[in-house]
Structure 1
Amino acid sequence: MRITYKATCFFFIGASVALAGCASTQPKPYAGIDSSSYLRPNDQARRGHEPYAYSTNVDWKHYDSFIMDPVAIYRGSDNQFDTKITEQDRQELASYMQQQFQDKLRQRYALVSTPTSGTLRIRATLTGAKGTTAFLSTFTRMDVGGTPINAVQAIRGREGLMTGSVSYAVEVYDASTGRLLKAYVDKQYPNAMNMKATFGKLGASRRGIDKGADGLLAGLQ
C-alpha cells in the first residue's frame, strides 16, 4: 500500500503531539531558591501558570520604586533546561530577562540603587528553558494537520507544537526590611499560533519572558 506524503505528515504530527504532551514540563518549587519552603500549590493558578506561589496581604500602592537584582541562572539538579540549551543560551536569556523585567517595572516604579521604605526588591531566577525545533515548529503552523491542533492549543492557552518555553522563579521583597512579600514559579511560552515566535531557537523563550514581565507588573497591584 502506497503511503502518501500527506499521510506521512499526519502520522508525524500525531506522533509529535503525543510526544510533546508527554515531554511537557511544569515548574517546580525549586529546592535551591530562597523562597522554596514558602511555595505552595496555587489554587488560583491561571491555565497552568504559577502552579506554586506564596503571597501576603500587601498594599502595593505603598511602593513607588524598585531594585532589581541581577537575574540568576539556576544551577540546582532540579533545573528544567533542555539539553539543547547551552550555557551561552542561558546567559543570553538571563540578560534579556533582566532588561525586559526592568523596562516593564519602570512603567510604574522608579528604578533606584538605594532602598527606602517604599522600595521593592525583585529577584528573578531563570530555572529552565526549551528551545524551538527548527523548521518543524513553523511547518506545523502551516500544514493542514498541525494548524488545527495549534489553533486548539491557542484557545486553551497551551503550548504550540515544537515550540520553546521559559521557566523561572520570581521573589518580591520589601527592600528596607527584607520581608518576603510575594513569590511564584512560572512557565511562559508564546501563543500557539504565533508564527514569528517559531523562528530561532530562543525566539519562543524570549516571547515567554515578555509575557512574564507583563505578568509580574500585573501581579503587583
Structure 2
Amino acid sequence: MKRVSKGVTPALLVLTILLAGCSGSEPLRYSGLRSAALLTPNTGDNAARIPYRYSKAVDWSKYSSVMVDPVTIYSGPDSQFDDMPQSDRQVLATYMQQKFQQALQPRFHQVNTPAADTLRLKLTLTGADTTPQVVGTVTKFDLAGGPYNIVQSIRGGQGMMSGYVNYAVELYDATTDQLLLAYVAKQYPNAMNISATIGSLSAAEVGIDKGADELADMLK
C-alpha cells in the first residue's frame, strides 16, 4: 500500500479509500501452488477469509510431530504484494515461520525427519500490504473511517486503510507425502485495533498471529 501524505485532504482520503476497497486483494487459487488443482471454493462460514480449500477426513490425534518447511515467498504472476519491497516480504516470511512454529509447539513436537506420526507443513506467503502511517490510525476516529471501522469490527471485516496478509497452507503426511489439508487465506487485525496501525507491517504481523492460531485450532 502506498504511503499517504499527512496533508491529505478529506476528499482525497475518501477517494483513496474507495480505490483501495476496489483493489484485488482477495486470496486466489494461486496457480503456482502444488495443491492448486485440488483447491475448491469454500462454502463454510469462513469462506470470506478462506475462499479455497481442500481437505481429507483425517484423525489428527494420530499425529504427534510436525516438520515445518521454510516459508516460501510466492513469486508467481498472480502474487499479491503490490509494491511491497522484497525486504518487507522477507521480514514477514521470517515472522510467519516463527509464529506458526510457536502456535503448533504445544500440540506437536518439532522435528526435522519424517516418521509415521509426523505432519509436514508447507507455508507460502502469497501477498501482503502495509498500513499507511498516520492515515491508518486517523481512519479509526475520523468521520470517514470511524463509523465504517466500527461496523467492520463487529462483522469481523477488514478496516479502512489496513494492512493484511495472504498466504497458503499445505499440510502433508510426512512419510506418504499425501496432501491432507490445504487452503488459501487472508488475515488482518480487528478493524478497531489501533496498535496494529503502529508500524507499516504491524497489521500483516497481527494477521499472521491470527492465522497461526487458526491452524493450531484446526488440528486439535
TM-score norm. by structure 2 comes to 0.92
Equivalent position amino acid for 1:69 in 2: D
Shift of 1:201: 1.1
Q: Any idea what SS the aligned residue of 1:127 has?
A: strand
TM-aligned CA distance change 1:156 to 1:17, over 3 Å: farther
Aligned length: 213
The CA distance in 2 between the partners of 1:187 and 1:91, in whole Å, is: 18
Identical pairs, percent: 49
The match for 1:3 is none
Runs of at least 5 residues in structure 1 that lack an aligned partner in the other structure: 1-7
Which protein has the larger Cα radius of gyration, Structure 1 or Structure 2? 1
Q: Is the 8 A contact 1:164 1:204 kept in 2?
A: yes
Displacement over 6 Å in runs of 4+: none
Runs of at least 5 residues in structure 2 that lack an aligned partner in the other structure: 1-7
* Corresponding position: 1:148 with 2:177: no
Q: How does 1:1-221 map to 2 (within 5 A)?
A: 11-46=11-46, 48-83=48-83, 85-221=84-220
The CA distance in 1 between the partners of 2:75 and 2:47, in whole Å, is: 27
RMSD between aligned residues:
1.5
Structure 1 stretch displaced more, 123-132 or 43-52: 43-52
Q: Any idea what SS the aligned residue of 1:166 has?
A: strand
Q: Any idea what SS the aligned residue of 1:141 has?
A: coil
Equivalent position amino acid for 2:34 in 1: D
The CA distance in 1 between the partners of 2:163 and 2:175, in whole Å, is: 37
Structure 1 stretch displaced more, 141-150 or 161-170: 141-150
Q: Any idea what SS the aligned residue of 1:185 has?
A: strand
The CA distance in 2 between the partners of 1:24 and 1:78, in whole Å, is: 11
TM-score norm. by structure 1 comes to 0.92
TM-aligned CA distance change 1:140 to 1:185, over 3 Å: same
